[in-house]
Amino acid sequence: MSKSIASTVVAAALFALGSQAAIAAPDWSKVAKRDINVFHAGATPIEWMTKKSDHSGSAGMRKGETCIGCHEEKGTLNFNFKRLADKELEPKGAPKTMMFPVSVQAAYDAANLYIRLTFKAPAGGADKGDKDNELKATLLFADAKVPQGDQYGCWQSCHTDARTMPGAADDKKTKYTPAGAYELVQWASKGNKVSDGSVTTERKMTGGTSGAKAEAVKSGDSYTITYTVKNPGEGKVVPFGIAIHADNASGRFHHVSLGYKLGIGADGDVKATKQ
């Protein structure tokens, strides 16, 4: 075996062992799994979603209906992916895989909340703008002041004037919300980097207060990522969403989830198990 190959094998082994040892994770065999489908949404910001002529579901949204109440059925999402991939909603080009499942598990103890994502990362993306990171996986947790955060999920932070949006987008603007805040926790593949940030009137990748940690194990093209954040409090229900930038994708060229609710010792779309 050559020195370069041997070094790669050793590094991979240490990466996996270090990931498993760094966090005293729960007994995941005792934690229920909930599949959440993430999908490429194209250029469909909050303005598009809430406009009747663009999105027929906007009428239901005005009545308080959730996105998953309309679009999630029988373990999948009932989107018109042909429309999401056409030039109107994705002028740059859609990825070969428009949707894929993410297995989500959640557990908590007195101090921490643990969230585990397991998924097979697709190749064939149309954008490879992040040369440094093969993959980034992000969790966003909305506070109670984010307008309709429990309905819209991450879309309340995605606008037509954000960078990488077509038309008159502002290259300096990233995700933002006009009120309230999202906690942002991200794991990035280069250097196992963990970001603990926020989305308010601007996105910040540092300065968060969740005490975030994240570790990953990669096997082939499959990832298992375990996040640890401060426990928001037993009995709370927290709106959250997932965003995965696979195949070196950047900006809006990610796969995202709809908005879900995480119950911590409470009812929710995903229920955290006490350990």
- The pLDDT-based confidence of 110 (bands split at 50, 70, 90) is very high
> 218: exposed, middle or buried (C-beta count within 10 Å: 0-12, 13-18, 19+)?
middle
Of the listed ranges 24-28, 43-47, 119-123, 125-129, the least confidently predicted one is: 24-28
Judged by DSSP in three states, 178 sits in coil
pLDDT at residue 184 greater than cutoff 60: yes
Going by pLDDT thresholds of 50, 70 and 90, the confidence category of residue 163 is very high
3-class DSSP state of 219: strand
What percentage of the chain's residues is helix, strand, coil (to nearest 5)? 20, 35, 50
- pLDDT exceeds 80 at position 190: yes
Structural domain containing residue 61: 3-274
pLDDT tens track for 230-265: 999 999 999 999 999 999 999 999 999 999 999 999
Q: What is the pLDDT of residue 24?
A: 63
Q: What is the CATH number of the domain that holds 242?
A: 2.60.40.1190
* pLDDT recorded at residue 3: 42
Which pLDDT score, from 0 to 100, does residue 89 have? 94
Token look-up 């190749």 returns: 123
Report, as an integer, the average pLDDT of 186-211: 97
Q: How many residues does the chain have?
A: 275
User: Is the predicted pLDDT of residue 10 greater than 50, yes or no?
Assistant: no
Closest to 145 in 3D by CA, of 66, 209, 199: 199
pLDDT range class, residue 9, cuts 50, 70, 90: very low
- Per the structure, the count of domains in the chain is 1
Please state, rounded to an integer, the average pLDDT across all residues of the chain.
91
In whole angstroms, give the CA distance from residue 251 to residue 128: 10
What is the predicted pLDDT for the residue at 260? Answer: 97
- Residue 116 is predicted with a pLDDT of 98
User: How distant is the alpha carbon of residue 72 from its chain centre?
Assistant: 17
Q: What pLDDT is attached to residue 167?
A: 87
Helix H or strand E encompassing 108: strand 99-108
Rounded CA-CA distance 129/143 in Å is 30
Percent of the chain exceeding pLDDT 90 equals: 89
Look at residue 20 and tell me whether its pLDDT is greater than 60.
no
**pLDDT of 182 over the 80 cut:** yes
Predicted confidence (pLDDT) at residue 14 exceeds the cutoff of 50: no
pLDDT of residue 86: 94
Q: What is the pLDDT of residues 51-101, one digit of tens each?
A: 999 999 999 999 999 999 999 999 999 999 999 999 999 999 999 999 999
